[in-house]
Structure 1
Amino acid sequence: MILSNDDKCWCKSGLKYNECHLDFDKKLQVLKKQCCTVPKRKLIKNKEQIEGIRRSAEINNGILDLVSETIKAGMTTEDINTLAHEYTISRGGIPATLNYEGFPKSLCTSINDEVCHGIPSKDVILKNGDIINVDVTTILNGYYSDASRMFMIGEVSDEARKLVEITKECLNKGLEAVKPWGFLGDIGAAIQEYAQSNGYSVVRDFGGHGVGLQIHEDPFVSHCGTKGTDMILAPGMVFTIEPMINVGSSKIFIDEDNGWTAYTADGALSAQWENTILVTEDGIEIISK
């Protein structure tokens, strides 16, 4: 679509094109001529959409704060699910995972060698020494936010503690690599380098993703990569960074019975942290964490 300066901007901000995304588009055109992969317009969120995602994230962050305050040995993962579900509904939100492509619960709880998509159950009781990832996605007024945190139950082994800490630092390295007008591949390169330098492997089968208007949007955010490659990171993009780091092999398998839960192929520990971020004109904003 070719717009004149006085036309309404394509981002639906209500502003004139020359007051909104004219200079933005010119920059993308220059980068495209340099053979860079540039984001499609549908990946760029306007101010109204960003504010909607922020409000959704207030609930999402509140859920994870509540879990942080209450999680302990003796709880079942179903107890965690109930807490999250009731908190979300009481604040006018919707648990995005509930019934998503058949997923039966309001969040994911992945313990020890479970890489991701663990299904809460009244039969799974947290015990001293466990590490668990709690992954929450919330819808509020049609806007999505997504984040996960690791929790260490009681006294955990040195191996487990180090994995959780290094995985958090992998996330931080990925966040630091995000620069407006930089490259998507910089994120994976930073995470992969740090994880492997500490003797860990990076899961390649899953990655981060665009989010905000749907639960999963483009782009796919790999946690392995090559610096200076892949899509341009333009202001207005919203996506997750969520490295899954294994003590042993990066290989995984999916539980055949439930069709969801991913496990490490060698039974070694796995950890994950996830933030939803906004690329801004001068850096990033962590929206959900």
Structure 2
Amino acid sequence: MTELYDPFSDVRGFRYTGSLRAVYPLSPKTRIPSSIRKPNYVNSPEEQQGVRTAAVLAREALEIVASHIRPGVTTDELDKVLVQAAIERKCYPSPLGYHGYPKSVCTSVNEVICHGIPDQRPLADGDIINIDVTLFHEGFHGDLNATYTVGERAKNDEALVRLIRTARECLDKAINICGPGMPYAEIGHVIKPHAEANGCAVVRNYTGHGIGRVFHGAPTIYHHPTRKAYGIMKPGHIFTIEPMLNLGTEWRDVSWPDDWTVATVDGAPSAAAEETLLITETGVEILTAKGGPRKIDTTEAREAHLKARAERRESGSE
């Protein structure tokens, strides 16, 4: 007979509030007939491949749009470039018409954090711009973004270069701890310290998200430590991480009257970076990686991260 036990009896800091106790082990995982359609947080191999294909096409489109970034080009012209790239790949630009969004790509310039609407303003030497591309291909979405300098002035602006670099580093550090068994809440614990160490604040009101057949779904990916973050990564989970950083210490935002454009409250520049990710048995696959999907074994990095977090909690430093 299987021995029964209380799995939480030795968990430090946990105390039951009543007489009820958990009794383990749990019975084997339930098997649901393959004929029954599964919800969007359980992705079949076919669905994973669908998102993988859309992600590759979205990366291609982003690279094409980015190649047109230069002083004098309007963000509306960049939108037209994206539309052409999408059509050539037999894709629908996911943002177009999404809750009334009027364009096909988000172009967030300078102090705009996210959801900037392409318009007739020419890019200027010294600007930075985030291009956020999502394509819908044969029933699946692929999503990514990146921030770029415009002209020589921006390339030589140390603060802007540091902001863009830090956004990407925060994303990479978060990706490197993704894998089965990792709480989604740990993402914020990786991003926030690195951002602040480099003179940047993490935007709190906008998050990463689950993606697949649905543009934005569960889980919600917070980029700062919060008790709102819940859930554990499991093989087959697909989601985005997209940290948005503001230069300085102010993380708050303000919305323009168009009900889409989100800007920093103090006018400080903002940058972001994003990839679509698939959790594997040993780590993570970056579906939107430059050069094609790339798998990473994160086993050692995950173990080291959780060990360091536990040590900080025990010492009272966190």
Q: Normalising by structure 2, report the TM-score.
A: 0.77
Residue equivalent to 1:197? 197
8 A contact 2:40–2:212 mirrored in 1: no
Instruction: Figure out how many residues of one structure are paired with residues of the other and give that number.
Output: 258
8 A contact 2:278–2:285 mirrored in 1: yes
Query: Does residue 1:225 correspond to 2:250, yes or no?
Result: no
Query: Does residue 1:61 correspond to 2:86, yes or no?
Result: no
Residue equivalent to 1:142? 139
Tell me which moved more, 48-57 or 62-71.
Answer: 62-71
Residue equivalent to 1:21? none
Residue equivalent to 2:277? 277
- How far 1:94 moved relative to its partner? 0.3
Task: Measure, in 2, the Cα distance between the counterparts of 1:186 and 1:278.
Answer: 17
- How far 1:177 moved relative to its partner? 2.0
Relative to structure 1, the CA distance from residue 42 to residue 73 in structure 2 (aligned partners, 3 Å threshold; closer, same or farther) is same
For residues 77-115 of structure 1, the C-alpha deviation after alignment (integer angstroms, 9 at most, x for no partner) is: 011100100110122110000011110000000000000
Residue equivalent to 2:180? 180
Task: Measure, in 1, the Cα distance between the counterparts of 2:35 and 2:129.
Answer: 43
Task: Measure, in 2, the Cα distance between the counterparts of 1:99 and 1:3.
Answer: 44
For residues 116-151 of structure 1, the C-alpha deviation after alignment (integer angstroms, 9 at most, x for no partner) is: 000001x21111111100001110111011000111
Q: Residue 126 of structure 1: SS of its match in structure 2?
A: coil
Q: Residue 177 of structure 1: SS of its match in structure 2?
A: coil
Partner letter of residue 255 of structure 1?
Answer: W
Task: Measure, in 2, the Cα distance between the counterparts of 1:169 and 1:181.
Answer: 23
Residue equivalent to 1:35? none
Query: Does residue 1:86 correspond to 2:52, yes or no?
Result: no
- How far 1:237 moved relative to its partner? 0.5
Task: Measure, in 2, the Cα distance between the counterparts of 1:4 and 1:175.
Answer: 28
Task: Measure, in 1, the Cα distance between the counterparts of 2:201 and 2:62.
Answer: 26
Q: Normalising by structure 1, report the TM-score.
A: 0.84
Task: Measure, in 2, the Cα distance between the counterparts of 1:175 and 1:126.
Answer: 31
Relative to structure 1, the CA distance from residue 6 to residue 73 in structure 2 (aligned partners, 3 Å threshold; closer, same or farther) is closer
Task: Measure, in 1, the Cα distance between the counterparts of 2:30 and 2:100.
Answer: 46
Task: Measure, in 2, the Cα distance between the counterparts of 1:11 and 1:45.
Answer: 13
Residue equivalent to 1:34? none
Task: Measure, in 1, the Cα distance between the counterparts of 2:236 and 2:95.
Answer: 25
Q: Residue 67 of structure 2: SS of its match in structure 1?
A: helix
Q: Residue 149 of structure 1: SS of its match in structure 2?
A: strand
Q: Residue 73 of structure 1: SS of its match in structure 2?
A: coil
8 A contact 1:181–1:235 mirrored in 2: no
Task: Measure, in 2, the Cα distance between the counterparts of 1:66 and 1:211.
Answer: 23
Larger radius of gyration: 2
Question: What does residue range 237-256 of structure 1 map to in structure 2 within 5 Å?
Answer: 237-248=237-248, 249-256=250-257
- How far 1:6 moved relative to its partner? 8.0
Relative to structure 1, the CA distance from residue 6 to residue 183 in structure 2 (aligned partners, 3 Å threshold; closer, same or farther) is closer
Partner letter of residue 182 of structure 2?
Answer: G
- How far 1:199 moved relative to its partner? 2.2
Identity fraction in percent: 35
Residue equivalent to 1:20? none
- How far 1:173 moved relative to its partner? 1.1
Task: Measure, in 1, the Cα distance between the counterparts of 2:194 and 2:220.
Answer: 20
Residue equivalent to 2:41? 43
Question: What does residue range 75-114 of structure 1 map to in structure 2 within 5 Å?
Answer: 75-114=73-112
Task: Measure, in 2, the Cα distance between the counterparts of 1:233 and 1:100.
Answer: 28
Partner letter of residue 164 of structure 1?
Answer: I
